[in-house]
Structure 1
Amino acid sequence: MLSEPAEPPLPINLVDPKLYSDGDPFALWRWLRANDPVHWHPPTELPGFWALTRYEDVRTAYRDAETFSSARGILLRPAEHGEDPGGGRTLALTDSPRHRMLRGLVDEWFTVRSVRALEAEMRDVTRDVVDQALERGSVDFVADVAARVPLYVICKMMGVPRGDWERLYTLTSQAFGAADPLARRFAHLDILGYFEDLQAVKAEDPADDLISVLATARIDGAPLGAEDVILNCNNLLVGGTENTRIAASGGMLALLEHPEQWRRLAEDPALLNTGVEEILRWTSTATHIMRTAVRPVEIHGRRIEAGDLVTFWLPSANRDETVFDEPDRFDVGRQPNRHLALGFGEHFCLGGMLARVELRLLYGELLERSIRVEPDGEPTPLASIVVNGPERLPVRLTV
């Protein structure tokens, strides 16, 4: 194997969105893993931070919640934006014991048993979405297929009335896809406003759904509070849709680019489970996850001080050549596949089982019905340091 070059292949700027839309971040991460696995990234418009790129370092830091805190935010943000409003209040942005108590409120909804109980309805949702795409023929797989399945499913679980599903689809599309930052901001505010109204209704007349659970919850004897309920509803909506949307569309792009892997799935449906795990590893949709060190710690001779920001670069960890055999090869039969795409430790993705089932049902629907998916234009990659994958994936669906 050739040794890594002494100098990085590109200037090291991990927070340049163009690196992910137009460049090759994997070459840069490969160099960092080999030469500078605990890299200090100086401030830009974002604060300075440490970057972890090796699998074992990321996994160890994920597991050490006592050193690496989530409460000050899990994504890099400009200092002038202030603290994340969800800090210390939402599932994703709390440390234990509060994190454990919040998670305990909703954990039951995401167990294997609960997800399996929903599977028939999830299959119906998936079939309807695919039918609509087939009827249109030429679609954007991201917006017209991959975005709708997880959104409709999480809306049902949360207790959003079916008549409002399209409204939330439009708002989430604007919040995550609008070119205008102001339009994205207004869409986010509209989503929060929607949940403000709905949680008030559920608090007065609870039903068997996630929003009712949060709206009537008590932690340490005190009500959760309307604002905390709203923030956690938003957290569930984003967590239940965004990563699955990008994984589903990124997986479809990978299968289009590796048609022999799609043929393997068609010929051997038993590979679908390992195929979904490989899609999760390959897409690694969360580009970075952030923690704040709450006490000094040393990793590979680099001293991280209390208060320092530490980032985990998941696509890099999931291509670590010391863990994955031929990591740059897309293989739907890959075993073992201990990827970190859904996190690890205390903050392991709450909806991990749900995401797996949604992906399996979507690809299974296409395979069982022998639906042909062909490129219908050039894909557009996301220009983002937060999530990675296709922003648009024009395809044509035929039977």
Structure 2
Amino acid sequence: MRSTSHAAEPTRLLDEPVCLHRLTDPVLHAEGDPHRVWRWMRHHAPVLRHPDGDLPAFWSLTRYEDVRAVYRDPETFSSRRGVLLRPAHRGEDPGGGMTLALTDPPRHRQLRAVVAGWFTTRSVRWLEESMRDSVRAILARVVDEPVVDFVQDVAGRLSMYLIGSIMGVAEHDHEKLFRWTNEAFEAGVSLAAHQELMHYFIGLMERRLVEPADDLVSALLGGTIDGALLTEEEVLLNCENIVGATENGRLAIAGGMAAFLARPDQWERLGADRSLLPTAVEEVLRWTSSATHSMRTATRDCVIRDQRIAAGDRVVLWVASANRDEDVFVSPDHFDIGRTPNRHLALGIGEHFCLGATLARAQMRILYSELLDRIRLIEPAGPAHRVRSIAVAGPETLPIRLTLR
């Protein structure tokens, strides 16, 4: 792997002034250094209230222990009213109380049980050969191209093809699914707003109602909670929720490759010692923290670090900040594929621990392994650009050149 030259990661002075209002500006996350802002907040204002503006008022949490504690207390901090900051004029998320992401116990556990069988360690092991075949096919498709956009051509296709297969999308429709989701991601809109995508899943649901199959859509249609079938609206919204989660997967995979390109010694270290693959995957997840924040709503008055949170207040967990907390991670701004322990929160914790965590880890491990086996040289082929978002983080484009062994 060849890198462009880069300077050592600078040490930031904690007393440097920061513009806190820019934390919710997507431009900062795409072109600036949000970690500088979070670093200051962790030390000077770990629980900070942001006033009303384009976004409704909310509290920011930036320390690991506080983020972890809120994740583990769904009774006090509810997901039902939304898990992402939304402009005030858009109101609350319409999927509240109906999707995996937007439900609280006990309904969340019941809904999770309907689909959990597809994401167990045993199921993922059964899918591993299929994942490996997909990786090989994707690499064969791009390896002769003069320039490859790793985000779209590799990470995006891999994530979407895999979840499409699990959901029951026919193989010949995978590319359509990939194109439609890309259109929604690039436009920064909900997948539910993409008419062709939603019409496709409505049609798939209608076919599975007549002829169930061994796939996730059939599981949702046949699932019951308290003896009642899920409504068709609930099934459709959960399909959208599950497909939408692939954006985090592709950004983590691509963000990991960007980290390796900037630090080729770590890629060479991984190639020399494949036993580091599991810890490398965990470090990629921590480092990229592709889900930048998660939001909760307080169900009752409470206190966090002497700050009084009122019932109904929004509380934003800056996961990317928690995963660089100096009190938890040694040299947190250093990318180390051998890091251990590494109890990051990139996949959440508690009730809402990522359902697809085992799948995501396997997918990343297989991809990096196949790249090491088949590709002699990976080098940058132009500037990378980060997504403009406060919800997700990672490369929007990552142009590279691949040279076969």
TM-score bracket for the superposition, by shorter chain length:
over 0.9
Residue 321 of structure 1 aligns to a residue in which SS? coil
Task: Compute the TM-score of the two structures, normalised by the length of structure 2.
Answer: 0.95
Deviations 1:343-362 (A, max 9, x none): 01000000000000000011
What amino acid is the match of 1:115? Answer: V
Deviations 1:267-290 (A, max 9, x none): 111111100000000000011100
Q: State whether structure 2 residue 196 is matched by structure 1 residue 190.
A: yes
- Alpha-carbon separation, structure 1, partners of 2:107 and 2:26: 34
Counterpart of 1:169 (choices 167, 178, 181) is 178
Residues 276, 338 of structure 2: 8 Å contact kept = yes
Give 1:41 deviation, angstroms.
Answer: 1.1
Q: State whether structure 2 residue 402 is matched by structure 1 residue 397.
A: yes
User: What are the equivalent positions in structure 2 for 1:301-316 lying under 5 Å apart?
Assistant: 301-316=306-321
Query: Which residue is 2:5 aligned to?
Result: none
Residues 191, 197 of structure 2: 8 Å contact kept = no
Residue 105 of structure 1 aligns to a residue in which SS? helix
Residue 363 of structure 1 aligns to a residue in which SS? helix
Give 1:96 deviation, angstroms.
Answer: 1.0
Task: Note closer, same or farther for the CA distance 1:2–1:187 as it changes in structure 2 (3 Å cut).
Answer: closer
Residues 192, 231 of structure 1: 8 Å contact kept = no
Residues 375, 402 of structure 2: 8 Å contact kept = no
Give 1:370 deviation, angstroms.
Answer: 3.6
Query: Which residue is 2:122 aligned to?
Result: 113
Task: Note closer, same or farther for the CA distance 1:259–1:391 as it changes in structure 2 (3 Å cut).
Answer: same
Q: State whether structure 2 residue 23 is matched by structure 1 residue 18.
A: no
User: What are the equivalent positions in structure 2 for 1:64-75 lying under 5 Å apart?
Assistant: 64-75=73-84
Residue 371 of structure 2 aligns to a residue in which SS? helix
Give 1:76 deviation, angstroms.
Answer: 0.7
Query: Which residue is 1:271 aligned to?
Result: 276
Query: Which residue is 1:325 aligned to?
Result: 330
Residues 39, 51 of structure 1: 8 Å contact kept = yes
Residues 192, 198 of structure 2: 8 Å contact kept = no
Residue 19 of structure 1 aligns to a residue in which SS? helix
Give 1:185 deviation, angstroms.
Answer: 7.0
Deviations 1:243-292 (A, max 9, x none): 11000100000000001000100111111110000000000001110000
- Alpha-carbon separation, structure 2, partners of 1:62 and 1:82: 23
What amino acid is the match of 1:191? Answer: L
Give 1:173 deviation, angstroms.
Answer: 0.7
What amino acid is the match of 1:224? Answer: L
Query: Which residue is 1:54 aligned to?
Result: 63
- Alpha-carbon separation, structure 2, partners of 1:198 and 1:86: 20
Query: Which residue is 1:98 aligned to?
Result: 107
Residues 53, 317 of structure 1: 8 Å contact kept = yes
Give 1:381 deviation, angstroms.
Answer: 1.0
Residue 324 of structure 2 aligns to a residue in which SS? coil
Task: Note closer, same or farther for the CA distance 1:11–1:64 as it changes in structure 2 (3 Å cut).
Answer: closer
Residue 371 of structure 1 aligns to a residue in which SS? strand
Task: Note closer, same or farther for the CA distance 1:80–1:187 as it changes in structure 2 (3 Å cut).
Answer: closer
Give 1:4 deviation, angstroms.
Answer: 2.7
Residues 249, 360 of structure 2: 8 Å contact kept = yes
Aligned length: 394
Residue 317 of structure 2 aligns to a residue in which SS? strand
Counterpart of 1:210 (choices 213, 216, 219) is 216
Query: Which residue is 1:231 aligned to?
Result: 237
Tell me whether 54-63 or 184-193 shows the greater mean CA deviation.
184-193
What amino acid is the match of 1:158? Answer: M
- Alpha-carbon separation, structure 2, partners of 1:314 and 1:130: 32
Q: State whether structure 2 residue 358 is matched by structure 1 residue 353.
A: yes
Counterpart of 1:220 (choices 221, 226, 231) is 226
Residue 303 of structure 2 aligns to a residue in which SS? strand
Q: Which runs of 4+ in 1 moved over 2 A?
A: 1-4, 7-13, 184-190
Query: Which residue is 2:305 aligned to?
Result: 300
Task: Note closer, same or farther for the CA distance 1:197–1:220 as it changes in structure 2 (3 Å cut).
Answer: same
Deviations 1:62-89 (A, max 9, x none): 0001000000010011122122111000
Residue 22 of structure 2 aligns to a residue in which SS? coil
- Alpha-carbon separation, structure 1, partners of 2:195 and 2:87: 19
Give 1:189 deviation, angstroms.
Answer: 3.1
Query: Which residue is 1:343 aligned to?
Result: 348
Give 1:3 deviation, angstroms.
Answer: 7.2
- Alpha-carbon separation, structure 1, partners of 2:308 and 2:22: 21
Task: Note closer, same or farther for the CA distance 1:186–1:294 as it changes in structure 2 (3 Å cut).
Answer: closer
Give 1:118 deviation, angstroms.
Answer: 0.7
- Alpha-carbon separation, structure 1, partners of 2:13 and 2:377: 42
Residue 310 of structure 1 aligns to a residue in which SS? strand
Residues 12, 36 of structure 2: 8 Å contact kept = no
Question: Sequence identity, in percent?
Answer: 55
Query: Which residue is 1:199 aligned to?
Result: 205
Counterpart of 2:285 (choices 276, 280, 286) is 280
Query: Which residue is 1:248 aligned to?
Result: 253
Query: Which residue is 1:79 aligned to?
Result: 88
Task: Note closer, same or farther for the CA distance 1:254–1:121 as it changes in structure 2 (3 Å cut).
Answer: same
Structure 1 residues not aligned, in runs of 5+: none
- Alpha-carbon separation, structure 2, partners of 1:257 and 1:355: 23
CA-based RMSD of the aligned residues comes to 1.5
What amino acid is the match of 2:103? Answer: T
Give 1:238 deviation, angstroms.
Answer: 1.3
Give 1:340 deviation, angstroms.
Answer: 0.2
Residue 21 of structure 2 aligns to a residue in which SS? coil
Task: Note closer, same or farther for the CA distance 1:221–1:11 as it changes in structure 2 (3 Å cut).
Answer: closer
Residue 248 of structure 1 aligns to a residue in which SS? helix
Residues 286, 341 of structure 1: 8 Å contact kept = yes
User: What are the equivalent positions in structure 2 for 1:21-40 lying under 5 Å apart?
Assistant: 21-40=30-49
What amino acid is the match of 2:38? Answer: W
